[in-house]
C-alpha cells in the first residue's frame, strides 16, 4: 500500500530532514510513527501526500509512483488518502454536516450519495446530534471527530494522521483512537504520527520510531523504542 525506497528529503540545510528511509506498509495495517521533535515525521506525511517531492528515492502509494504523478493527476491520488491534522482544519463558516459534505462535493460525488454517507460518518464518530453545530461550538475532541469523519467520508484506502490527539486530553484521545481503530477494521490502512506514548503502549500496533531523518526501530505490537 505504501512503499518508500531510499527516500531523502533535504530542505536545503546541511542535515536532510529525511535521510534514506525504507518502509513497507501493507494494505489494512495500523501503524504508529513516533520520534522526537524534528525527526522528520511530518515531512514523511507531506511526501506521502505529494505536498513535497523527495530530493531522491521513490515513493509508491496505492501502487502509484509519486514521482510520476503529474499535477493534473495529483487530485486523484489524494482521493485515495484521507488526512487528519493536529489543528483539525475545519471550515469555521460551515456547520458539522456541511464540513463533512464539503469533502464529497469537492470530489463531485452525486448528491443522493452525500446525505447517506455523511449521516453514516456522523453516526460512526458519534456526532449525529451535533450535525448543525458550528466548529466554534464544539470541544477539541468533537472537532477532531468531525475532521476524521471528513477524512473518511470518501472511503480513502489510506488515512494519514499527523498528531491527531496533540491538542486533546487522554479521554478524548482514547475516543479518537477507538474511531481510528474502527476505520482500520473496515479496511482502511491507517498511519498515525503521535507523541502520545500511553496510547502507543496501550494499542499494541506496529510502531516505527524515527530519529534524525532515519528509521531507528520498526516493531510489531507496540514495542517501541524511544531514545530520549
Partner 1 sequence: MKIRSLMYHFKDGFKNIHRNRMFSLASIATITACIFIFGVIYSLFQNFEFMVKKAENEICVTVFFDEGLSDAQIKQIGDTISKREEVSSMHFTTAEEAWNNFKSEYFADFPELAEGFQDDNPLANSASYEVYLNEASQQDALVSFIEGISGVRQVNRSEVAASGLESAARLIGYVAIIIIAILLAVSVFLITNTIVIGITVRKDEISIMKFIGATDSFVNAPFFIEGITIGIVGSIIPLGILWLMYSRIITYVLSKFSVLQNILVFLPEGEVFRVLAPVAIILGIGIGALGSTFAVRKHANV
Site residues for partner 1 per CB under 8 A = 49, 71-72, 75-79, 83, 89, 91, 102-103, 105-108, 110-111, 150, 154
Q: Which is nearer to partner 1, 79 or 214 (CB)?
A: 79
Instruction: Indicate whether 76 belongs to the interface with ligand ATP (CB under 6 A).
Output: no
Residue carrying the nine cell digits 453514516: 120
Q: Which is nearer to partner 1, 154 or 207 (CB)?
A: 154
Residue 178 near residue 209, CB atoms below 8 Å:
no
Q: Which is nearer to ligand ATP, 35 or 156 (CB)?
A: 35
CA distances to 76, 102, 110, 128, 191 from 118, in Å: 21, 10, 12, 10, 23
Instruction: Indicate whether 136 belongs to the interface with ligand ATP (CB under 6 A).
Output: no
40 binds, among partner 1, ligand ATP, Mg ion, none (CB under 5 to 8 A by kind): ligand ATP
List of long-range contacts for 20-23, beta carbons under 8 Å, 24+ apart: 20/57, 20/213, 20/214, 21/57, 21/213, 21/214, 21/215, 22/215, 23/208, 23/215, 23/218
132-151 positions binding Mg ion, by CB under 5 A? none
- Can you name the residues that pair with 59 across neighbouring β-strands? 4
**Least CB distance to partner 1 at residue 106 (A):** 4
**Least CB distance to partner 1 at residue 52 (A):** 12
Cα–Cα dist 72/75, whole Å: 7
Binding Mg ion (rule: CB under 5 A), the pick from 10, 42, 55, 167 is 42
Residue 160 near residue 81, CB atoms below 8 Å:
yes
Binding ligand ATP (rule: CB under 6 A), the pick from 7, 30, 31, 39 is 39
**Least CB distance to partner 1 at residue 215 (A):** 25
Interacting residue ranges for Mg ion, rule: CB under 5 A: 42
Amino acid at each position: 500500500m505504501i512503499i518508500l525506497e531510499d527516500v531523502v528529503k533535504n530542505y536545503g540545510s546541511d542535515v536532510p530532514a529525511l535521510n534514506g528511509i525504507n518502509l513497507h506498509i501493507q494494505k489494512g495495517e495500523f501503524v504508529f510513527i513516533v520520534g522526537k521533535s524534528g525527526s522528520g515525521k511530518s515531512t514523511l506525511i507531506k511526501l506521502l501526500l505529494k505536498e513535497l517531492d523527495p530530493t531522491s528515492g521513490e515513493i509508491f502509494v496505492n501502487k502509484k509512483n509519486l514521482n510520476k504523478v503529474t499535477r493534473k493527476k495529483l487530485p486523484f491520488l489524494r482521493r485515495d488518502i484521507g488526512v487528519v491534522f493536529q489543528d483539525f482544519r475545519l471550515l469555521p463558516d460551515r456547520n458539522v454536516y456541511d464540513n463533512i459534505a464539503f469533502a464529497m462535493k469537492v470530489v463531485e460525488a452525486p448528491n443522493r450519495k452525500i446525505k447517506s454517507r455523511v449521516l453514516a460518518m456522523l453516526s460512526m464518530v458519534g456526532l449525529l446530534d451535533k450535525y448543525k453545530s458550528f466548529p466554534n461550538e464544539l470541544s477539541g475532541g468533537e472537532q477532531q471527530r468531525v475532521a476524521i469523519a471528513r477524512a473518511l467520508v470518501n472511503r480513502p484506502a489510506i488515512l494519514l494522521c499527523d498528531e491527531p490527539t496533540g491538542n486533546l486530553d487522554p479521554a478524548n484521545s482514547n475516543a479518537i483512537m477507538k474511531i481510528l481503530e474502527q476505520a482500520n477494521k473496515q479496511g482502511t490502512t491507517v498511519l498515525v504520527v503521535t507523541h502520545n506514548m500511553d496510547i502507543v503502549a496501550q494499542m499494541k500496533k506496529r510502531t516505527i520510531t524515527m530519529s534524525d531523518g532515519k528509521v531507528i526501530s520498526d516493531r510489531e505490537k507496540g514495542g517501541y523504542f524511544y531514545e530520549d
